[in-house]
Every structure is written in structure tokens, then in C-alpha cells.
Structure 1
Amino acid sequence: MAFKRSIFASASEDRLENLVLERLKPGADKEKIDARIWDLFGEVWCIMFTDLSGFSRGVEKFGIIHFLQTIHESERVLVPIIEDHDGILLKSEGDSFLVIFRNVGKGLQAAIRMQKELLEYNKDKIPEEKILLCVGLGYGKVLKIGDSDVFGSEVNTASKLGEDTAEAGEILITQTVFDNAQDTGLKFEPIKDVPAGTHGAYRVLY
């Protein structure tokens, strides 16, 4: 099964690369090629980026073994929650996850569950062993390349919110997530630091 997945991802990447190379040729009809790329790879997803607060400082202070322990524990606690909410973990790089969900509701539910699970996990932990999670969510049309990566404005904005803006325990969302979350019963409050790529950004109150 893993072998088949690698073939499919490679085929998608090859197709995209060929279209991009065609786009670079003199006189290329870029609008037509762009439409072909979106037809092939354009999908609507809820994008989640996670980051661990203070992680780099922890590595510097406590060393690489502490780094590996924290990564292992965060995956052990959080990946089952992602799977329970039908999320797809596309990437795990260092202390960050890139996850996609088919709809906003499941993305928000997963994020809240992750934060609440870590609140329980951290109760009996010494400060350096606590897992402090930051989450950013975006929603919209993206280019999904096999099961390896996604690209788009909402991807970039979710990354900015999760990795740069959010504090420990926060879930921050883009305007499009907010617009599509009005039937979830959740409450939100606007934040002042709105990154490029979205008209507004909000904190989830949970």
C-alpha cells in the first residue's frame, strides 16, 4: 500500500512539474495552463497547522533527547485525535503538523479536542515536559498534490496563524473558517494581528 501511495504522489508531482515547465515557455497561454492545473489539483479543504510553543528554547536548554521525547509524546497524544476526526496528516516536520480535513466542523472539533486533551496531559507534568500547542486553521480551495502537500492562500495564512501568531493553547482561524463555522455553535472573538491573505482572523473560545 505504501508503494502504491508513493507512485500516485509521484505521478501527481510529475504532472504538475510538466505543466509548470509548459507555463514557463515563451508565449505560453498561462491562463489556460492555470485552469488545467486547478482542474487537476484544485480541491476544497480545511487546513490545520500546529506548532509547539517555546519548543526551540526547550531544545536549546534541555537538548536533543528532550526534543525527541516531546515529538514522540505529541504524536502519541494528537495523531489519534486527528484520525478520529477524519483528518489526514500530510506532514510532520519537527514540532509542526500539516493536517487537512474535508470540512470546517471536523477541523474545529479536532483542534478543540487536541487542546483539551493536552490540558489534561499537562496537569501532572513539570514545566519542561508540558506540551503547549498552537493551532491555525484555514479553509478554501487549494492545490492538493497527491498525499504529500497542499498549496494556496489559506494554507499560507493557516501556517502564519499556527506557527507565528497563536500563543500556547490558542486556536486561531481565518475569515473563511469563521464564515463557514456559524452553524457549529462555537464562539469566536476577533484578533488584532490579522496576517496577509485573509480579511479577518479570530480566536476560538472553547
Structure 2
Amino acid sequence: MANLRSTVIVKTDICGYTARVKKLSQSDLSSLLNEHKTFISDISTRNEGSLIKGEGDSFWLIFPSVTAAAMAALEMQQELRTQQSSKSNDERLAIRVSITLGDVLHQDKDIFGDTVNLTARIESVTPQDEIYLSQAAWLALNKAEVQTSFVNEFSLKGMSEPEKVYKVDQSYKTRIVENQAIIKADLRGFIAYQESNSIRDVEYLLTNFDTFEKNICEEYGGTIRSIVGDSHLLTFPEAHSALAAMESLCENWKLFIHG
């Protein structure tokens, strides 16, 4: 049975999905999509939303209010960053989110109409790690709960008039990690090396440095918290394990450089 009603729509999409698919086996791809669907669905449910349908790496959801939708989208973005804090930008999963509000036709557990089309068009201009809203959604948003800023006015395909688009200003909350030994490791003379060597050599150097740090974290129970260029921030549950890990890293790095 079909019915028309005002609805808040959210569309999520994995950025760079096509490039990631080429590197995955069918089994790994299936696991990735199933895990991501569960991730999106669980956060939506916690914020009173519901999953309508999935299209590969994209998911369509509906919410009772724009504010609830924006809070869910914020949770998705922040939780993804937390889960992948030890991964480089090339390795981590990133999504973009679009939110709209308007009259939507609900039929056979699916949604149709101009608002659905607008959601897809806005999603197409949304950068990774961002949350964009249509003007109607922005007007209905509780500005005291969610901070936003104006992005631009877009002439979107299939839309008769330009659409003013806004984005959610994401605040990055401090995360407290208790009772951890902290290590900061970087490469001495890296800037000089970078300026005097090819990009291929620099990438080779950084790749090996990343590999060594991942290995010691696995062996000594550590976690890579952030990576900025050649600088890594790591934590360990015990000081002695942090010292042992650093001794191992230094020894392996000396052998690598000598080789």
C-alpha cells in the first residue's frame, strides 16, 4: 500500500568504494559489506532511525526528525574514526552522508519521489567524512543541538532550481585512554631524506616503518593512535612492554637501514 508523508531521508556511501573492491576477494568484500551494514543499522536504531534499503556500499535510512538523523550521522563518522585510529588514510574506511526532508512516497518497503532524488544528488557532491543537508532539512534542524555552516548553492542534475546546501560542523571530542604508556616515534632526518630522494623511495621507507610499528604493536599489545607523515603515536598497557617494543623497533630499523 502506498502513502505519501513528510520524511527525513539519510543516504550513506563509502568513498572510494570501487578502488577498494578491486583489491578484495569475493569473501572479503561480502564480509566488509555485511559488517558495514550492521554498523550503519545499529547506530540508526539507537537514534530512532530505520534502514530502508541497501545498494552495494550505499544505504538509505529514514528518521523521525532531522536532528536525530544528524546525531546518527555524527555518531557514524566519529565511531569510524575511533575504530580506525591505527590505520593510514589509504587503509581506513570513509563515508559521506546526505540528509534531506520532504514529501516521500512509501510503497512496498521502499521510498520514491523528488526528495529521494535530491538526497542522491546532494550525496554526489558531499566530500568524504562530511555530512551535507538540504535547505529544508537545515531549516528543521535544532541548531542548539547540531552546529552547521553554509556550503554553497548547487545546480543539481534533475533539479529545477538551485539548492542551498549546508554541512554539519563536526566537533572532535577528546578521547580518554586510561593507564597507558605513551610513545612518540619519528624518523630523524626525514625531511632532508624526503627532499633528496624520489617519491618511490620515500614511500618505501614509510611503508617499512609502518610495518615495523604494526608488528611490534601486535607482539607487545600496543595500539597505533595516530599517524602523521613519519610521526607515530603509540600506547601500551604497561611501561615495560612499551620499552621492549621500542628496543625491538630500534633494532629492526637498524638492520633495515644497514641492509
TM-score after normalising by structure 1: 0.73
What secondary structure does 2:23 align onto? helix
State whether structure 2 residue 47 is matched by structure 1 residue 85.
yes
The answer for the alignment partner of 2:168 in structure 1 is 204
How do 1:134-149 and structure 2 match up within 5 A? 134-146=96-108, 148-149=109-110
The answer for the alignment partner of 2:148 in structure 1 is 187
What is the alpha-carbon distance in structure 1 between the residues aligned to residue 95 and residue 128 of structure 2? Answer: 5
The answer for the alignment partner of 2:113 in structure 1 is 152
The answer for the alignment partner of 2:128 in structure 1 is 168
What is the alpha-carbon distance in structure 2 between the residues aligned to residue 160 and residue 125 of structure 1? Answer: 30
Q: Higher helix fraction: Structure 1 or Structure 2?
A: 1
State whether structure 2 residue 76 is matched by structure 1 residue 120.
no
Aligned partner (choices 45, 48, 53) of residue 10 of structure 2:
48
Q: For residues 3-39 of structure 1, what are the alpha-carbon distances to aligned partners after superposition, in whole Å with 9 as ceiling and x for unaligned?
A: xxxxxxxxx1xxx5xxxxxxxxxxxxxxxxxxxxxxx
What secondary structure does 2:163 align onto? coil
What is the alpha-carbon distance in structure 1 between the residues aligned to residue 153 and residue 28 of structure 2? Answer: 34
Across the two proteins, how many residue pairs are aligned to each other?
Answer: 166
Q: For residues 135-191 of structure 1, what are the alpha-carbon distances to aligned partners after superposition, in whole Å with 9 as ceiling and x for unaligned?
A: 111101111114x111122211111222x2112101111110111115444222223
The answer for the alignment partner of 2:215 in structure 1 is none
What secondary structure does 2:6 align onto? strand
CA gap 1:182/1:77 in 2 versus in 1, 3 angstroms: closer
How do 1:94-109 and structure 2 match up within 5 A? 94-109=56-71
The structure with the larger Rg is: 2
Cα RMSD between the aligned structures?
A: 2.0
The CA deviation at 1:72 is 2.4
Amino acid of the residue matched to residue 160 of structure 1? R
What is the alpha-carbon distance in structure 2 between the residues aligned to residue 63 and residue 134 of structure 1? Answer: 24
What is the alpha-carbon distance in structure 2 between the residues aligned to residue 49 and residue 80 of structure 1? Answer: 15
The CA deviation at 1:192 is 4.7
Structure 1 gap segments, 5+ residues each: 1-11, 17-40
**Structure of greater relative contact order (alpha carbons < 8 Å, 6+ residues apart):** 1
| Contact preservation (8 Å) 1:91, 1:98 | yes
What secondary structure does 1:90 align onto? strand
The CA deviation at 1:194 is 4.5
Amino acid of the residue matched to residue 120 of structure 1? T
The CA deviation at 1:129 is 4.7
The CA deviation at 1:83 is 0.2
TM-score after normalising by structure 2: 0.59
The CA deviation at 1:128 is 5.7
| Contact preservation (8 Å) 1:70, 1:131 | no
What secondary structure does 1:81 align onto? helix
State whether structure 2 residue 142 is matched by structure 1 residue 178.
no
Q: After alignment, is 94-103 or 127-136 more displaced?
A: 127-136
What is the alpha-carbon distance in structure 2 between the residues aligned to residue 57 and residue 63 of structure 1? Answer: 13
How do 1:7-22 and structure 2 match up within 5 A? 12=1
What is the alpha-carbon distance in structure 2 between the residues aligned to residue 161 and residue 124 of structure 1? Answer: 31
What is the alpha-carbon distance in structure 2 between the residues aligned to residue 192 and residue 65 of structure 1? Answer: 42
